[in-house]
Amino acid sequence: MVETGAQSIEDLIPLALRDTATATFRYVRVNLIATTVDAVIEVFIRDGFKLVEDVKMLNVNAHRFMRDGDLSDVLVFPPGTVLHLHPLYVDGSVVLQDKASCMPAHVVQPQPGSEALDACAAPGNKTSHMVSLMANKGRVHAFDMDSRRMQTLVELTTKARCRIIETQCMSFLDVDPLDPKYAQVEYALLDPSCSGSGIVNRMDALVDSYASGGRPQEPQGGRLAGLAEFQMSIIMHAMRFPAVKRISYSTCSVHVEENEAVVAAVLAAQDEFGLAPAEQVIPTWKRRGVAEGGLTPEQAACVVRTLPEDGTNGFFVAGFVRQKPTDVEATRLHLQTIWAGRPAPQAASEPAQNQHQQTNQKKREFNKSADGKPAGPMKKKPKPTVDTRKQNSSLNGQRARSAVTASGPPAAGAGGTSKGKKRPKRRVTSAVTQ
């Protein structure tokens, strides 16, 4: 900053973008595991914030807030509100999460006591949101290839008091849907790698995108096609889990190629799942999908889009619901196709309970006063449960395997393995967050 003469991080943002960087509202998701929306509202009021009902009253830096009109567990604060040091955030009672990012869990609608999966889970906010909606009852299988990001997931979900998450540091495409371990999984949240073209409220992303010439760097068409191919493969793989009956698919992209076109391709490729009706996909949200990429106007009305002008990041969410029972033979053929030329992964091993977390569980319990309201931060942060010491370093920095589709084996040199070439053994690390 000294070299540029900037006095703050905000000064590094181009003038044309400063309004965009600060115009999005600040959203707070209430962690229903730890507290209630009403209790959190009372705390903010006690701290001097004024509860209002009109979004027009949320002026920049105003000490006001309101309930979100679309998501029952979300509160809205004015742009520029700083809450990172607030006790409710420090102790995990609330999560700072963009509104659009909170939509997928509400679309997939996991029920308390059920089993769900998060295919590309790290860093974990959407995972913990599912657990919050499930009242910390049931089980959530969380998969991610990146050991460092999985470490972050364990830390964040432990802070949020999630006790039902089972982590697997591996590619979701290597998970066997027919493994008895996943026979009861009914809900799948899919938020795979995307172009990130909808992200606008991360200052570092804004500075990077404008650093080379004053305009955002659009991804090349080939990269979008590769991302779309991978995104479709994730959805098709999730549909092979026999008991899965509801799926949410989301991206932080504004490109039709990654959104409507992917949904249309999935609908055309199979007949076991259809789009969830509009009344089950954030029905009060007015901005819906666009009738492009192969979607009809009726289908586009069943998916959700958000844009920066809505006060959020650019985002896309679609819901799929099962219409026909799983075809087990089709699943076996699907697995033979995506695992062609390499050994099929073995069934995931049962995770061992972390003894340190068991013996220190009481120390991590949310401290409450006699009236049940938040009374302060946790006294000690538990150690993460994922052992990363032996994790294959080639997994670091990767979000997902590229060029893997449901229609054929991955191409050699593009993240896959050609026939006849032995694939290195994959290491799997598993744990249950307490």
List the one residue out of 95, 158, 106 whose CA is nearest residue 133: 106
Tell me, rounded to whole angstroms, the distance of Cα 382 from its chain centroid. Answer: 23
56: Cβ–Cβ under 8 A, 6 or more apart, which residues? none
Cross-strand pairs, 249: 190, 318
Q: Are strands 64-67 and 50-51 parallel, antiparallel or unpaired?
A: parallel
- CA separation (Å) from 329 to 242, 325, 332? 11, 12, 5
Helix 203-210 vs helix 15-23: crossing angle, to nearest 10: 150
Q: Which residue has the tokens 């050994």?
A: 343
Cross-strand pairs, 66: 76
Span between the terminal Cα atoms of the chain, in Å: 42
d(C-alpha 183, C-alpha 140), whole Å: 13
Tokens of 3: 């070299």
Sequence letter at residue 359: T
Q: Which residue has the tokens 């598993």?
A: 430
Contact between 275 and 151 under an 8 Å Cβ cutoff? The reply is no
Q: Can 169 be counted among the known catalytic residues?
A: no
List the one residue out of 344, 345, 341 whose CA is nearest residue 413: 341
Q: Are strands 26-30 and 94-96 parallel, antiparallel or unpaired?
A: antiparallel
Q: Are strands 74-77 and 64-67 parallel, antiparallel or unpaired?
A: antiparallel
Contact between 331 and 242 under an 8 Å Cβ cutoff? The reply is yes
Helix (H, G, I), strand (E, B) or coil at 49: coil
Q: Which of 102, 120, 162, 252 is catalytic?
A: 252
Contact between 146 and 395 under an 8 Å Cβ cutoff? The reply is yes
List the one residue out of 146, 125, 238 whose CA is nearest residue 193: 146
Q: Which residues are catalytic?
A: 252
